[in-house]
Structure formats: structure tokens, C-alpha cells
Amino acid sequence: METKDDWYNVELMTQHAFWNKHHLGCDEHYLVHKLRQDKDYLPELSRIAVKDGVVIGCIMYSKALVVDGADTHEIITFGPLCVEPKWQGSGVGELLLRETMNLAANKGYKGIVIFGEPDYYPRIGFKTCDNFHIKTADGKNFDAFMGIELVKDGMKNIKGKFYESNVFENLPREEVEEYNKNFPQLQKLRFPGQWD
């Protein structure tokens, strides 16, 4: 579990992991900062990976909802999940996932829904959400929208539209740029595979 002393290093590692991955630069380190202050953040499930005193991975959980009319189900989501680039592919991501999925199951959570890399999570057992009768807030299903049951049939009766915490949608570009001043000034570069 992270302490206040780890905050900067967790954000620095997050910046390294996501820089130029999905966009020019990234905003995930600012998301980590905002999440920690958010009412939906679940520190009791969130974990960091530390090797020889250095932070090399993190997974952060928050509350989310699946809503079907007046019927509201509380579930959980995570993000960011990331690993320091030089440690990627060593099993750290899987370790963080498996440990926290156990924690969540033991605390009685029924399932996890995420937006994530469609080629990574199925190896851990995630399935696309059309398998669970769960759609995005605008009624869609696609490969990057996945879930997993933490107990058998845990999401059988959870139907509806998925809403993650507002914090994920509230990262204004100017705030990200301002926050970036606290970090190494990495170069913004275009790569294939970026979303915009």
C-alpha cells in the first residue's frame, strides 16, 4: 500500500509508463493525483509494487456504478494500472491484478469493469462486457470494455449502463500542463497507435 512518501514516485512511474502511449504526452499521473482526493477512490484495494525500494508498478481502484433505471449496483473499476517500462513483461502487472482481485473478493465485491487493453486482460480472465449484460453509459459494447466476476455468477444480476467516477472525465488540459511542471520535461512525440 502506498504512503504519502510514495506519492511523487508513483506519479513519476505512471508518467513514464503512459508517456506518448495513448496521446502526445499523458495525463495519467495527474489522474493518480486527483483520484487520491476523490470520494470514489478505494485506497484499501489500491497497491504499489516496490523493487529494491523503488516504485515499479501501481494499480488504483475506485467505485463505479451499473445503473438500470432505478436499479443501481455498486461495483469497482481500476485505472491506472501501470508498470515502469523497464520492468514491463516481468509479471508485475499480473501480480498486482491477482493480489488486488483477491483483496476485492475478500471484501465482498462482486465484479470489476474496466476500459483497458483488449489484448492484455483476457489472459487474466476478463471478458468483454456483452458477456455480462453491461453497456457503456452511451449504450455500447466493444473489445476494450471488459469485466470479470470476483465470485461465481457475481455479475449475473448486474445489468445496465456502466458509470465510472467523474474524476476520469475531469482532467482539463491546462491543469495537466500545469501539473506536468512538477515532473521531468519529457518530449511529446507522435507514435502509431496513439488515439489522437
Ligand X SMILES: CC(C)(COP(=O)(O)OP(=O)(O)OC[C@H]1O[C@@H](n2cnc3c(N)ncnc32)[C@H](O)[C@@H]1OP(=O)(O)O)[C@@H](O)C(=O)NCCC(=O)NCCS
What residues line the site for ligand X (CB under 6 A)? 17-18, 21, 81-83, 88-94, 116-117, 119-120
Output helix, strand, coil percentages for the chain, rounded to the nearest 5. 30, 30, 40
Our CB check for ligand X shows the closer of 7 and 87 to be 87
Our CB check for ligand X shows the closer of 83 and 129 to be 83
CB of 111 to ligand X, least distance (A): 17
Looking at residue 73, what DSSP letter applies?
A: E
CB of 78 to ligand X, least distance (A): 9
CB of 157 to ligand X, least distance (A): 27
Q: Can you state the angle between helices 173-180 and 28-36, rounded to 10 degrees?
A: 90
d(CA 111, CA 125): 12
Our CB check for ligand X shows the closer of 89 and 184 to be 89
Our CB check for ligand X shows the closer of 115 and 163 to be 115
CB of 52 to ligand X, least distance (A): 17
Find cell 495537466 and name the residue.
176
Evaluate whether 129 touches 113 at the Cβ level (below 8 Å).
yes
CB of 169 to ligand X, least distance (A): 17
Our CB check for ligand X shows the closer of 124 and 151 to be 124
H-helix or E-strand containing 53? none
Evaluate whether 67 touches 103 at the Cβ level (below 8 Å).
no
Q: Please give the residue whose beta carbon sits closest to ligand X in the complex.
A: 93
Evaluate whether 147 touches 114 at the Cβ level (below 8 Å).
yes
Which residues are paired to 136 by β-bridges? 162
Our CB check for ligand X shows the closer of 39 and 123 to be 123
Residue 36 burial by Cβ neighbours in a 10 Å radius (0-12, 13-18, 19+): middle
CB of 82 to ligand X, least distance (A): 4
